[in-house]
Amino acid sequence: MNDELIIGMRCGAARAGVDAVLVNFRSGSMDILHATFTAFPTAIKKTLDQLFETGKRPSDNLANLLDENLGRFFARTAQNLVRETGMEMRDIQAIGSQGQKVWHQARGDTPLTMQLGKGELIARNTATTVVSDFHSADIRAGGQGAPLAPLLHRHLFQNETENRAVLKLGSIANLTMLPKGGRGITCFDCGPGNCLMDAWTRRHLHKDYDHHGLWAGKGAIDSGLLERLLDDPYFSLPAPKYTGPEYFNMNWFETNLADSDLATETVQTTLVELTALSVARGMQAFPLYDRLLVCGGGAKNTYLMRRISAALPDVIVEPTTRHGADPDWVEGLLIAWLARERLNGQVQDTQAITGASHPVMLGNIHNP
């Protein structure tokens, strides 16, 4: 069978840059041939940081400017990825681009998701078919538009004899429950993942993240602060549920922090515990699971992984690496897979995941 080469590009809510993977879909396999992370240019990064600090939907003018600038940046990222492999863009069948999410409001009178990085501009600049905007069709069908990762998780990690869960530790912590035999898949956001920890680190250490959780490991858990944080009504909502930095941001956190004079490292330690306990509580709402597979940037946070293991003493907690998938690139692989599914006209059943009323085709196709 011939090679089928598709690029998957995704941006996390951390707003650091774009992950890009070149995937070969051949003979039923999905092989990552090359993967890169490209940091945002300073101007884009600064604009995104300022936008997310407000916790508000961007103005139309700002959204349009970012849409254009991100589209050009994503096109260059795809071209550089292909160049590094010694190939040419004409060798690539398609590009899947998630875009940078700047707003997601799936409920209310006017549900809307904004994933910026103009797909038609990427297609024009790369002379390659692009699939983008994977969330809107689900929202139009009455779903929350996300999460979509479980669609791939069940292909990669489901097991006939073992109850498994997959934890994506990005800015938000997201759980996919994969009961053995494939019955009753469920997915939901259990709460903040790295977003609050990273924001606190940027404020006090002037670094993008707490490397391996070394800073958090120096502090102590403040039970009063932790209890206030966990009292938020979101943690008691039933699945499926979806959240993001629009909700769990520094404005939310500072309301709960109040006038505390806690040491900065103690706050960081407590934020780690918030993530660990919200994951554990999410897991405990279901029958006993045997194994928790962790992907996303948080899988590298050694201290956070230890705290999750401590909160789930009867569950094996391990990175997805041990099951053939690099934790850094699972999301990029998802976008490439979704693009291929859309180009093949495959309908996705997201009803049990997002609450959609019927199966839908995800993504818009832009031809060069």
Residue 150 has pLDDT above 80, yes or no: yes
Whole domain around residue 34: which residue ranges? 5-144+339-348+355-366
Percent of the chain with pLDDT over 90: 71
Q: Does 251 lie in the same domain as 115?
A: no
Does residue 332 sit within a domain?
no
**What is the model's pLDDT at position 1?**
52
The pLDDT mean for the chain works out to 92
pLDDT digits (tens, 9 = 90+) for 177-214: 999 987 778 888 999 999 999 999 999 999 989 999 99
Does residue 247 sit within a domain?
yes
Of 28 and 202, the structure prediction assigns the larger pLDDT to 202
Going by pLDDT thresholds of 50, 70 and 90, the confidence category of residue 14 is low
pLDDT digits (tens, 9 = 90+) for 343-360: 999 999 988 888 899 999
Does residue 278 sit within a domain?
yes
Distances (CA, A) of 177 to 5, 166, 170, 254, 288: 30, 7, 17, 32, 11
**What is the model's pLDDT at position 51?**
78
Q: Does 65 lie in the same domain as 154?
A: no
Q: Does 298 lie in the same domain as 182?
A: yes
How many structural domains does the chain have? 2
pLDDT digits (tens, 9 = 90+) for 250-261: 989 999 997 778
The structure tokens 């297609």 sit at: 123
Angstrom distance (rounded) from CA 267 to CA 205: 13
Predicted TM-score (pTM) of this structure: 0.85
Percent of the chain with pLDDT over 70: 98
Q: Does 172 lie in the same domain as 108?
A: no
How much is the average pLDDT of 114-130?
Answer: 96
User: Which CATH number is 125's domain given?
Assistant: 3.30.420.40
Q: Does 158 lie in the same domain as 137?
A: no
Ranges of H-type helices in 127-194: 136-140, 150-157
How much is the average pLDDT of 111-135?
Answer: 94
**What is the model's pLDDT at position 84?**
97
Q: Is residue 34 packed enough to be buried (19+ CB in 10 Å), middle (13-18) or exposed (0-12)?
A: middle
How much is the average pLDDT of 154-173?
Answer: 93
Q: Which residues contact 68 (CB under 8 A, 6 or more apart)?
A: 118, 121
Q: Which residues contact 274 (CB under 8 A, 6 or more apart)?
A: 191, 192, 196, 226, 229, 230
Does residue 199 sit within a domain?
yes
Q: Does 263 lie in the same domain as 164?
A: yes
Q: Does 298 lie in the same domain as 243?
A: yes
How much is the average pLDDT of 3-8?
Answer: 95
The structure tokens 């999905």 sit at: 30
Q: Does 164 lie in the same domain as 132?
A: no
Residue 89 has pLDDT above 70, yes or no: yes
**What is the model's pLDDT at position 129?**
98
Does residue 319 sit within a domain?
yes
CB 199 within 8 A of CB 249: yes
Q: Does 198 lie in the same domain as 159?
A: yes
Q: Does 181 lie in the same domain as 290?
A: yes
Angstrom distance (rounded) from CA 284 to CA 229: 19
**What is the model's pLDDT at position 315?**
97
Q: Is residue 2 packed enough to be buried (19+ CB in 10 Å), middle (13-18) or exposed (0-12)?
A: exposed
Does residue 66 sit within a domain?
yes
**What is the model's pLDDT at position 147?**
82
Q: Does 241 lie in the same domain as 165?
A: yes
Going by pLDDT thresholds of 50, 70 and 90, the confidence category of residue 291 is very high
Q: Does 293 lie in the same domain as 227?
A: yes
Of 5 and 58, the structure prediction assigns the larger pLDDT to 5
Residue 223 has pLDDT above 60, yes or no: yes
Residue 320 has pLDDT above 90, yes or no: yes
pLDDT digits (tens, 9 = 90+) for 272-287: 999 999 999 999 988 8
